[in-house]
Structure 1
């Protein structure tokens, strides 16, 4: 018995660092389990039930198998929401990546004075708290006295109905403004990681700018670039804040702002179909999970 105790003490002494590190991550794991794993598990389970927020089904709900998912396939509003989401993500992806890439190129290749100040200006959207973004843009997009329509009016251009007629474009514009800095930071880091000696060797062999980009720059930034595209799409696929800002508690008749995340919210909390809303949420989770697998695959390369 004493020999076993001595062996245990010796093992603890030899592995004390690993034990301490393991204990330090226990609170984080507890928070993740409590606020992410358990809600996710309940969401998956509810998606196989006919649970509602009010009425008899709030208490006397029953297991219905894949009925919610079969109803999704035939639900025209789900596919309209899917179409809006794909358009929103695709256009936002192009704009966020393009603007962020141009900003990264400017910050890494240009030799203008005051580049630090310009970088600070570029980073302003990410410096402003996210909770303030809707209030800033609502004041800018207000049809009568908003900043954008005031600028259009000063050039003799017609005012736009940013919050109704062009609401999808407004969502994309806000998301691009708030998110292009992610691309800028990631790609600027990728450009900076390329050793200067590679370009010097290319210049010795008489390579043109296009050849240096094709043979040196692009191969070395290819995987960060792909990773950036996946992360942007993954971030936008479950976007909610800006769409809710223009929509509110009930869906718009034209469905122009009904992203999948907002559709799930309206199904669960406006129409009280909690089980159906959880099924939509689980579809979003599957898409995000697949994108995460792609992200991890390219992150290892």
Structure 2
């Protein structure tokens, strides 16, 4: 173990595990020759974000710094594993274990490492697709990266929690954040609950034994799911148009007169329209999901309830509803998380409008669409990163708590 602490692989060579020892030696030597200088440069860039305006690019230095941190974690993990492996191997030799020959060693190593080899590509992909962007965005929230501090002409500086303080103290940020966050919660709860309730109602109704032409009805109800969502949203955006939309022109004005309802220009009516559209878009999936679950419920349960004199409401409350929730709770939770970050419908319907006086977000903007505007319209990357962190904490906290209440995180023996 002491030899492995001094230099990776020496302990394995001392224990006569030559293949493993040579592998660790090659890894450490390659690190010292090829990546040590790059990691030092990356850590310097992460600490300073550059020192010469016009020459040092702060964001590139931040990227190199994050990559250096990831490389250090990977190398430290391998180094610790090298030390632990040498210690365990020495203990086994002391207890009388004898090294295997080369052929048996290769076979045993393959058997033990096969699951890790199969998951390694996915792990590497997750590191660079999920972990790296996550760390980068978190660090970006503690900088002053915006339109007026854009490299390479200007350097980006670390500002600590200044962006978080401005979000809750500066009036325009505070008012906008409270308004958008509250609407995001309302939008998520109302729109998702409505699509779940409508899907459940239709699934239970179509599953009734007295209903005929079930296959035809189910096919018709699933059709909205077959049409691409962006096409449906754009069609509805045209239908809800204040001036030439068919809803005002052919339905509202003939019934109540006047100029119709300002679906696009009034935040209240725009929000109602978006909720209705999302209900239309979301109920077919819930309907198909609940229909499959209803088919799996044994008819004997309902027959026993009929014998006991149970009403239809009692059968639904004590048989149908518990079975549906038991089988679909994780998927329903995912529906809430998905709608919390449902960018498509907000942007495609009216780009988050209409404008609201005293705020830098539109009347129907949710957090994700506000982040998009801050990033691409006003180039306020640091504040966008702050809001992204808040979004991630809300969604992950809610999802983790709810999943813990279901069977999703429970082992087989705990159920």
TM-score calculated relative to the size of structure 2? 0.64
In the alignment, is residue 181 of structure 1 matched against residue 284 of structure 2? yes
- In structure 1, the partner of 2:80 is none
Instruction: List aligned pairs for 1:28-177, cutoff 5 A.
Output: 28-52=122-146, 54-58=147-151, 59-74=154-169, 75-152=174-251, 155-158=254-257, 159-165=260-266, 166-177=269-280
Larger Rg: 2
Question: Shift of the alpha carbon at 1:227?
Answer: 3.7
Question: Shift of the alpha carbon at 1:25?
Answer: 4.7
What is the distance in 1 between the residues matched to 2:244 and 2:352? 25
- In structure 2, the partner of 1:207 is 310
* C-alpha distance 153-72 of structure 1, shift in aligned 2 (>3 A): closer
- In structure 2, the partner of 1:265 is 372
- Answer yes or no: is the 8 Å Cα contact 2:242–2:264 preserved in 1: yes
* C-alpha distance 130-5 of structure 1, shift in aligned 2 (>3 A): farther
Q: Which runs of 5+ in 1 are unaligned?
A: none
Q: Which has the higher contact order (CA 8 A, sep 6+)?
A: 1
Residue 284 of structure 1, aligned match among 372, 375, 391: 391
- Answer yes or no: is the 8 Å Cα contact 2:203–2:290 preserved in 1: yes
Question: Shift of the alpha carbon at 1:36?
Answer: 2.3
- Answer yes or no: is the 8 Å Cα contact 2:353–2:365 preserved in 1: no
TM-score calculated relative to the size of structure 1? 0.86
Q: Which moved more, 1:289-298 or 1:242-251?
A: 242-251
* C-alpha distance 243-56 of structure 1, shift in aligned 2 (>3 A): same
Q: Which moved more, 1:29-38 or 1:252-261?
A: 29-38
Q: How many equivalent pairs are there?
A: 297
What is the distance in 2 between the residues matched to 1:218 and 1:262? 35
For each residue in 1:10-52, what CA deviation from the matched residue of structure 2 results, as whole angstroms up to 9, or x when unmatched?
A: 325656xx82x65555444443332222212211111111112
Q: Which moved more, 1:237-246 or 1:153-162?
A: 153-162
* C-alpha distance 56-71 of structure 1, shift in aligned 2 (>3 A): closer
* C-alpha distance 4-109 of structure 1, shift in aligned 2 (>3 A): farther
3-state SS, counterpart of residue 56 of structure 1: coil
For each residue in 1:183-211, what CA deviation from the matched residue of structure 2 results, as whole angstroms up to 9, or x when unmatched?
A: 22332233223222222222222322233
Question: Shift of the alpha carbon at 1:243?
Answer: 1.6
Question: Shift of the alpha carbon at 1:281?
Answer: 0.8
- In structure 2, the partner of 1:241 is 344
Question: Shift of the alpha carbon at 1:132?
Answer: 1.9
What is the distance in 2 between the residues matched to 1:30 and 1:78? 36
Question: Shift of the alpha carbon at 1:130?
Answer: 2.8
What is the distance in 2 between the residues matched to 1:264 and 1:93? 22
Q: Which moved more, 1:221-230 or 1:182-191?
A: 221-230
What is the distance in 2 between the residues matched to 1:48 and 1:133? 39
